[in-house]
Structure 1
Amino acid sequence: MKNYLKFLAFILFTSCADDKKNTTDPAEVNLTTLGNHIERLSSDAFLGRKPFTEGEVKTVNYLKEEFEKLGLLPGNGNSYFQNVPMVEITGTPSENMVISGKNGKFQLDVLKDFVATTNKISTNVGLDNSDLVFAGYGIVAPEYGWNDYEGIDWKGKTAVVLINDPGFKSGDSTLFKGNEMTYYGRWTYKYEEAARQGADGLIIIHDTEPASYGWNVIESGWTGARLIIESDLPLLDVESWISGDSAEKMFDVSTMKGLDYKTLSSNKDFKPIPLDLKVSVSIQNKIKKDVSKNVVALIPGTDRKGEVIIYSAHWDHFGVGKAIDGDSIYNGAVDNASGTAGLLAIAEAFQKSNPTNRSIAFIALTGEEQGLLGSSYYAENPIFDPKKTVANINIDALDSPGKMKDLTITGYGHSEMDEYAKAAAMEQNRYIIPDPEAEKGYFFRSDHFNFAKIGIPALYASGAYEGFEKNIEEIKAYNDYYRIHKYHQPSDEYHPETTELSGVQLDLQLLFKVGLKLSNEDYFPKWYEGSEFKAAREQ
């Protein structure tokens, strides 16, 4: 009876005048709750929250217990966990990568000049005098009439490619998507395509601006133990990056000496160019198979409980790794203790509000830092019917020096989730903008991407451009400092006495309001015409 009266009160609330609905929140995302969870999850006790470590055990149990305390139900049947089978590969590359040809032979030093990894579940892999072929951007895109691999038998060969895609900094908005990175620009795609073409290996040339991160990120992210999900798809023997300086050194002793390889690669008529060089490198692997966990909790709806809104955030980070300035624990306070804490804070707000018609699921995902593994596994093994999943609201790396005027939507223009975000932003006297750094491919770099791939409209948004109290230049400087000095570094830590959370709270309140609106209507947001994800929803 009590719940019934509570529900009647909610109906009365939602029938009030629009101006009242626009100014009254059923509950607020609690700032203290948010800060406490960020501080706890990013503490040294959680050891950087890497899957397959003691840090994972502590993290997933903490999340389960906190969801239980809030009164949320297990989201996967009788369990709060979805097991995600993974393989941990700890690869030790040879100290040198050897590049040789008739015009010279030289060695690249591991970490300083190159990194090399593999997804092959084998103790010994490598390249032994594999022919090097420059393959432009490494793209096969029939819709653009583009094929960087055409005319070559790739067996026994290693492709060398550029990061990003031809539209980047081209000044031509019709070349791919202009400055906005397409999926073809992502490093994950490039390795996948080279494997489909039958190559033995792929070397990506690092360049900070089109990659959107420095060599230090390559150095920390492509070393040590790596996690994969077993797959029947073709795999390369070696996946590698080399520094820009090393690439110049390589081209100087190749058939492309003196040529502008970036300009050549941006031409639709480009064809792969044998470099008349060979590459050798080896990797010794330790293999461990284990199971990681997605954490899933549920607030059941009332009369439309079979329809679900999913809030997601990845709980994992890089664990304990290479020491920088004497610190080896990669705490990941912003990335992504902030989002994981946000799940708990939003769940608390829903529990303090009236019952919703639709169900609300909260999924803390594993393995995002290793390639969106937890969300990829969920997409292949969904707990909730994708056709009845109304939307995904993804939370990743919330950070700001104060409340923000803007709401930057990554992937703006794909679906009607933009309109829900716009309405919620207007209630906060904010405006929405598309991602001004769309060339960095952030749409493909967080878990919402895997929900979108199975047709679920996704929202990934936060304030990132202009503050109420800080101007655009100050915000840019703040964001640049994080990217250069903290992103994927041990210095991404939480300091309760100095960390500003008011902007994070404002973003979470907006995301809460979007989910609240969705949870009390019968409409399913649609993909816009032209979105590559529309077909998956309609199948």
Structure 2
Amino acid sequence: MPLLEGRRLRDGAGFSLVRDGEERRFAFEEEFLPGINFNAASHSVTAPLVFVGQAVHAPELEHDDFEGVDVRGKIAVYFSGAPSTFPNTQRAYHASGREKLARLAERGAVGAITIGNPVDEAKYPWARNARNWAMPGMRLVGDDGAPVDAFPQLKATASLGVQAARELFEGAKMDAEEVFARREAGTLEAFDLPGQATLTGATALETVESHNVVGKLPGSDPALSAEHIVYTAHLDHVGHGAEVNGDGIYNGALDNALGTAVMLEAAHELVAGPAPKRSLLFVAVTAEERGLLGAEHFATHPTVPRESLVANINMDMPVFLADVTDVVPIGIEHSSLEDDVKAAAAELGVGLSADPKPEEVVFVRSDQYAFVRQGIPAVYLDAGIKARSPDVDALALYEDFLTGHYHQPSDDLSRPIHYPSAAMLSRLNAAIGRRVGDAAGRPQWKEGDFFGRTFGGQAAP
């Protein structure tokens, strides 16, 4: 698939704020990072600032972060995520960075600045993420030759850490501490910020190619074999980055070599038995870490007729660091796949636990979401959190991985991966695919489901 790769350049990058005739220049990497501009090799924009909460417009929940302000011709400042008061489904959808940029572009903003907050920065420190500023970003190249979701209306984007963000609110309607508190309470409101900002940047752009790898197990039924269930796991990680203790190779053992192995083991399980009635596709997708790009390309340009895709079963970063008795199904509540997951888990004696971190909105952050956006029901089964031993806290091990090893060189084979638990997930994913493959009808979105309404597809009668 064709991709446009963009790399930030330090030379030419700048962010400054002018108030009352005084200019404050922010430091590259230490305080801010320019976004990657996929539309131009260099950019510069000067405009007033406006704070727009989390840049969420959710009329179905009577929520509008743009109420009372006009963003036209301005640089919008906002937090990532979506209000904690939202139901998990809508929170996941409205937390999407793509949706935020689309709303801003529609409203005429000329720039966008994402700001940090103390809660998230405690888990994911600015300095740790910013040191990898040289890592490239990517966009799919559309059939028209233009980058997809590049939003040319937005002339510049950037991100700021918490300390730099505090300065934007000096002399404003609310100070930073009140804004941070309102973010946690879900009571943000929009207002103009004092001063004018200038964002500049430069990007090295290059067209590259990458590949999805697809395997197929043909179905056994003369008619239903024309329909396809798609298993996915991303084959990429983040590559080379800033060195940590002399190591700059970001291995991705759990994210997502283990997920890919889980998919392949499920394939082995299914190939060893009688073929389901429907055909099965096993797709190792590329460029997940660059924005679910491989999955999006396959979901929109599949190797089989698009209308034949009936379900997606995704595997991503199964953090099995202990002997567990359960898995965490993400997204089963949206479609009839819930029945298949529960039946298969009961048959195999695998427990199902609720998502322990719904605020992470992982349903929109992995490859299954590319299929959901095409109206295809999907599910993603994450590693379990209930250890077999009462002396082991599997959830604490997972949280330790997120804070210390996620997207770090230390996500390598020195992690104490519990392979029998990973094999349990493989068997469960295989059993789910077999049930869906042999069912009389396709999976359906549940009646009135948010994703089913938003993206279409086959809804329950």
Provide closer, same or farther for how the CA distance between residues 470 and 280 of structure 1 changes in structure 2, counting only shifts above 3 A: farther
Instruction: After TM superposition, give the deviation of residue 155 of structure 1 in Å.
Output: 3.6
Kept after mapping to 2: 8 A contact 1:116/1:222:
no
1:148 aligns with 2:65: yes
Instruction: After TM superposition, give the deviation of residue 269 of structure 1 in Å.
Output: 9.2
Higher relative contact order (CA 8 A, sep 6+): 1
Instruction: After TM superposition, give the deviation of residue 385 of structure 1 in Å.
Output: 3.6
Provide closer, same or farther for how the CA distance between residues 177 and 213 of structure 1 changes in structure 2, counting only shifts above 3 A: farther
**Paired position in structure 2 for 1:6:** none
Instruction: After TM superposition, give the deviation of residue 259 of structure 1 in Å.
Output: 7.2
Q: Larger radius of gyration, structure 1 or 2?
A: 1
Instruction: After TM superposition, give the deviation of residue 296 of structure 1 in Å.
Output: 1.2
Extract unaligned runs of 5+ from structure 1. Answer: 1-83, 169-174
Which amino acid in the other structure matches residue 410 of structure 1?
I
Query: What is the CA deviation profile of residues 56-103 of structure 1, one whole-angstrom value per residue up to 9, with x for unaligned ones?
Result: xxxxxxxxxxxxxxxxxxxxxxxxxxxx21101112144642122128
1:383 aligns with 2:303: yes
Kept after mapping to 2: 8 A contact 1:393/1:448:
yes
Kept after mapping to 2: 8 A contact 1:330/1:488:
yes
**Paired position in structure 1 for 2:235:** 315
Provide closer, same or farther for how the CA distance between residues 264 and 346 of structure 1 changes in structure 2, counting only shifts above 3 A: closer
Query: What is the CA deviation profile of residues 3-58 of structure 1, one whole-angstrom value per residue up to 9, with x for unaligned ones?
Result: xxxxxxxxxxxxxxxxxxxxxxxxxxxxxxxxxxxxxxxxxxxxxxxxxxxxxxxx
1:480 aligns with 2:387: no
Which amino acid in the other structure matches residue 480 of structure 1?
E
State the SS of the aligned residue for 2:77: strand
CA distance in 2, matches of 1:289, 1:370: 14
**Paired position in structure 1 for 2:144:** none
1:368 aligns with 2:368: no
| Structure 1 stretch displaced more, 481-490 or 238-247 | 238-247
CA distance in 1, matches of 2:120, 2:93: 13
Provide closer, same or farther for how the CA distance between residues 135 and 258 of structure 1 changes in structure 2, counting only shifts above 3 A: closer
* TM-score under structure 1 length normalisation: 0.76
**Paired position in structure 1 for 2:354:** 434
Provide closer, same or farther for how the CA distance between residues 403 and 197 of structure 1 changes in structure 2, counting only shifts above 3 A: same
Which amino acid in the other structure matches residue 503 of structure 1?
S
**Paired position in structure 2 for 1:523:** 441
**Paired position in structure 2 for 1:425:** 345
Kept after mapping to 2: 8 A contact 1:90/1:286:
yes
Extract unaligned runs of 5+ from structure 2. Answer: 141-146
**Paired position in structure 2 for 1:122:** 40
1:243 aligns with 2:154: no
Provide closer, same or farther for how the CA distance between residues 266 and 436 of structure 1 changes in structure 2, counting only shifts above 3 A: closer
CA distance in 1, matches of 2:361, 2:149: 27
Query: What is the CA deviation profile of residues 139-159 of structure 1, one whole-angstrom value per residue up to 9, with x for unaligned ones?
Result: 122212222224544343111
**Paired position in structure 2 for 1:136:** 53
State the SS of the aligned residue for 1:507: helix
Kept after mapping to 1: 8 A contact 2:277/2:437:
yes
Instruction: After TM superposition, give the deviation of residue 485 of structure 1 in Å.
Output: 1.3
Kept after mapping to 1: 8 A contact 2:92/2:362:
no
**Paired position in structure 2 for 1:494:** 413
Provide closer, same or farther for how the CA distance between residues 408 and 264 of structure 1 changes in structure 2, counting only shifts above 3 A: closer
| Structure 1 stretch displaced more, 410-419 or 448-457 | 410-419
1:189 aligns with 2:84: no
CA distance in 1, matches of 2:226, 2:282: 15
State the SS of the aligned residue for 1:195: helix
Query: What is the CA deviation profile of residues 377-408 of structure 1, one whole-angstrom value per residue up to 9, with x for unaligned ones?
Result: 22222333444323111000012123322221
The number of residues matched between the two structures is 446
* TM-score under structure 2 length normalisation: 0.89
Query: Quick one: which of 136, 157, 164 aligns to 1:225?
Result: 136
Paired residues for 1:77-476 under 5 Å: 84-93=1-10, 94=12, 96-102=14-20, 104-128=22-46, 130-166=47-83, 168=84, 175-177=85-87, 181-207=91-117, 209=119, 213-216=124-127, 218-219=129-130, 223-229=134-140, 230-231=147-148, 234-235=151-152, 236-257=154-175, 260-262=178-180, 272-303=190-221, 304-470=224-390, 474-476=393-395
Kept after mapping to 1: 8 A contact 2:132/2:242:
no
State the SS of the aligned residue for 1:394: strand
Instruction: After TM superposition, give the deviation of residue 499 of structure 1 in Å.
Output: 3.3
Kept after mapping to 2: 8 A contact 1:164/1:185:
yes
Provide closer, same or farther for how the CA distance between residues 328 and 265 of structure 1 changes in structure 2, counting only shifts above 3 A: closer
Instruction: After TM superposition, give the deviation of residue 210 of structure 1 in Å.
Output: 5.1
Provide closer, same or farther for how the CA distance between residues 103 and 528 of structure 1 changes in structure 2, counting only shifts above 3 A: farther
State the SS of the aligned residue for 1:204: strand
Aligned identity (percent) is 28
Instruction: After TM superposition, give the deviation of residue 251 of structure 1 in Å.
Output: 1.2
State the SS of the aligned residue for 1:99: strand
**Paired position in structure 2 for 1:81:** none
Task: Extract structure 1 runs of 4+ deviating beyond 6 A.
Answer: 265-270
Provide closer, same or farther for how the CA distance between residues 137 and 120 of structure 1 changes in structure 2, counting only shifts above 3 A: same
